[in-house]
Structure 1
Amino acid sequence: MDIKTKIEVKKLDLQPENKGIKNFFKSKQTRRTLIAILVGSLIALAFYYFTEGQSMNTFSVEQALKNMALGGFFGFFVTNSPCARGRC
Structure 2
Amino acid sequence: MVSRMARIVHMGKLGGYAALLDGALLEPDGRILWPSVSALTEALRRAGITPSDMILDTRSPAGVRPAAAVSGPAAASPRSVGLPLAA
TM-score where L is the length of structure 2 = 0.22
More strand per residue: 1 or 2?
Answer: 2
More helix per residue: 1 or 2?
Answer: 1
TM-score where L is the length of structure 1 = 0.22
